[in-house]
C-alpha cells in the first residue's frame, strides 16, 4: 500500500508547492478550472453537456469555499526554515482584533525616582542597557503596544515584543541606505511571529529582524542584547533605571489567560519536535554571524532546566559557549 501512497503523496506535494507560489487569485483560478476539468468527463455522463458544465462549476466553487475557509488562498512569503533545503511559501495571516494600542508611536518614560510603586517586584520587564543608560519596558505595556521606538544618542532603536512567542527583540532601526526609520505594529503575522511595518511599507519579521516584503526585502536589522527579567532583579542591577510609562495599560498582562492555557500560538503550526512542551520557555543560542537567521545553527535550553543548572558549557558551530 505504501508503494502506491508514497509516490501519490510526492506528486500531490509537488503540485501543491508550485500552486502556493502563485498569487492567490491565480491559485484560485487554477484550482477552480482544474476541478472542473477533472470532474466534467464523469458528470457529463450523468447530466449531459450543459448540466455537466454547471455541476462541475458548482463542485469547483464548493471546493474553493472550503480551501478559502482553511486559509489556502492566503498571501504567502518564501522563508528558509531550519532543516529545509529550499525556501517554502509560508502563510501571512491576519490577527483578529487588529492593533491593540492606538498610541503606540507616543513613548514616555519615568525617571528613576518616579518608578516607586509602579510595578511589583515579580512583574516582568524587558531590560535594555546601552552605554550605561538603562530602561525597563513592562511586559504589561508591551503586550499592547508591541513596539517602542527610541533613540540612544544618535542610535535609533526599536524595542519589540511578541506576546504570542514570548520573544523580546531589540533592533538598530537603520535601513539598507543607512537612514533611520521606525517600526509599527500590523495586523499580520507569519509562523505566529508579528510583522512590523517600516515607513516605506517594508514588512519585518519580529522574531528575526529580517525584511521579508517591500523595498527593504532581504535586509537584516542588527540585533542588540536585552533581558527578559523581573522588575525587582532589573532595578537591583540598575537602581536609576528609567521605565516605559505603563499609563493607559492594564495592571496585568492581557495575555495571561493565553499563557495559562495549553494553546500554542494563535495559528497551529503542528509540533515537529516532542523533546520539550510546545509552550516551554527556552533560552535559544544561535550563530550571530549567520546571514540567514531563520536557518542558522541553534540550540535551545529549557528555562526550567537552567533554573536547576544555571551554568552550562557547550559549543555552537565549533565555538565555545558559556
SS3 track for 267-286: CCCCCCCCCCCCCCCEEEEE
Q: Which domain holds residue 175?
A: 96-263
246 and 126 assigned to the same domain: yes
pLDDT at 319: 79
149 and 287 assigned to the same domain: no
Using CA atoms, how far residue 25 sits from 55, 73, 169, in Å, is 22, 8, 35
Residue with cell 536547576: 308
Residue 61 lies in a domain: yes
6 and 56 assigned to the same domain: yes
Residue 206 lies in a domain: yes
- Lowest-confidence range among 49-53, 99-103, 292-296? 99-103
Residue with cell 542597557: 129
Residue 91 lies in a domain: no
Beta pairing, strands 133-138 & 124-130: antiparallel
Beta pairing, strands 314-316 & 319-321: antiparallel
- Lowest-confidence range among 160-174, 189-203, 273-287? 273-287
pLDDT at 102: 55
What's the rounded Cα separation, in Å, for the pair 251 and 264?
24
Percent of the chain with pLDDT over 70: 77
Residue 271 lies in a domain: no
Q: Please classify residue 209 by burial: count the beta carbons closer than 10 Å to its beta carbon, then call 0-12 exposed, 13-18 middle and 19+ buried.
A: buried
Query: pLDDT band at residue 217, thresholds of 50, 70 and 90?
Result: confident
How many distinct structural domains can be found in the chain? 3
Burial 296-314 (b: 16+ CB within 10 A, else e): beeeeeeeeeeeeeeeeee
- Residue with more model confidence, 151 or 270: 151
pLDDT at 82: 58
125 and 155 assigned to the same domain: yes
Query: Where is mean pLDDT largest: 12-16, 31-35, 233-237?
Result: 233-237
Do 61 and 32 contact (CB within 8 A), yes or no? yes
55 and 111 assigned to the same domain: no
Which grid coordinates belong to 109? Answer: 518614560
146 and 240 assigned to the same domain: yes
Residue 285 lies in a domain: yes
Residue 34's SS3 state is helix
- Residue with more model confidence, 224 or 73: 224
Task: Say whether pLDDT at 268 is over 70.
Answer: no
181 and 246 assigned to the same domain: yes
Residue 223 lies in a domain: yes
Looking at residues 153-177, what average pLDDT do you find? 91
Q: Taking every pair of C-alpha atoms in the chain, what is the biggest distance, in angstroms?
A: 84
pLDDT at 300: 80
pLDDT at 254: 60
Last residue of a domain, one of 263, 294, 311: 263
166 and 249 assigned to the same domain: yes
pLDDT at 14: 63
Amino acid at each position: 500500500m505504501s508503494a502506491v501512497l508514497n509516490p501519490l503523496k510526492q506528486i500531490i506535494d509537488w503540485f501543491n508547492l508550485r500552486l502556493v507560489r502563485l498569487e492567490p487569485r491565480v491559485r484560485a483560478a487554477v484550482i477552480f478550472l482544474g476541478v472542473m476539468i477533472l470532474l466534467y468527463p464523469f458528470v457529463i455522463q450523468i447530466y449531459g453537456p450543459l448540466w455537466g458544465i454547471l455541476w462541475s462549476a458548482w463542485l469547483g466553487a464548493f471546493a474553493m469555499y472550503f480551501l478559502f475557509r482553511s486559509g489556502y488562498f492566503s498571501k504567502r512569503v518564501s522563508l528558509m526554515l531550519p532543516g529545509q533545503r529550499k525556501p517554502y511559501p509560508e502563510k501571512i495571516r491576519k490577527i483578529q482584533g487588529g492593533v491593540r494600542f492606538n498610541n503606540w508611536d507616543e513613548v514616555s518614560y519615568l525617571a528613576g525616582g518616579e518608578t516607586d510603586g509602579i510595578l511589583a517586584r515579580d512583574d516582568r520587564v524587558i531590560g535594555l542597557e546601552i552605554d550605561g543608560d538603562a530602561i525597563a519596558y513592562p511586559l504589561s505595556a508591551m503586550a499592547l503596544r508591541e513596539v517602542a521606538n527610541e533613540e540612544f544618542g544618535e542610535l535609533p532603536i526599536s524595542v519589540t515584543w511578541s506576546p504570542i512567542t514570548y520573544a523580546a527583540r531589540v533592533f538598530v532601526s537603520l535601513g539598507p541606505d543607512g537612514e533611520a526609520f521606525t517600526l509599527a505594529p500590523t495586523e499580520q503575522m507569519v509562523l505566529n511571529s508579528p510583522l512590523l511595518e517600516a515607513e516605506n511599507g517594508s514588512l519585518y519579521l519580529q522574531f528575526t529582524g529580517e525584511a521579508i516584503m517591500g523595498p527593504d526585502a532581504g535586509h537584516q536589522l542588527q540585533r542588540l542584547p536585552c533581558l527578559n527579567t523581573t522588575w525587582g532583579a532589573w532595578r537591583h542591577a540598575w537602581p536609576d533605571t528609567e521605565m516605559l510609562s505603563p499609563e493607559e495599560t492594564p495592571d496585568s498582562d492581557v495575555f495571561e489567560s493565553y499563557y495559562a492555557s495549553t494553546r500554542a500560538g494563535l495559528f497551529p503550526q503542528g509540533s515537529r519536535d516532542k523533546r520539550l512542551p510546545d509552550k516551554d520557555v527556552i533560552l535559544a543560542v544561535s550563530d550571530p554571524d549567520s546571514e540567514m537567521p531563520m536557518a542558522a545553527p541553534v540550540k535551545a535550553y529549557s528555562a526550567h532546566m537552567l533554573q536547576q543548572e544555571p551554568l552550562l558549557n557547550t559549543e555552537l558551530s565549533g565555538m565555545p559557549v558559556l
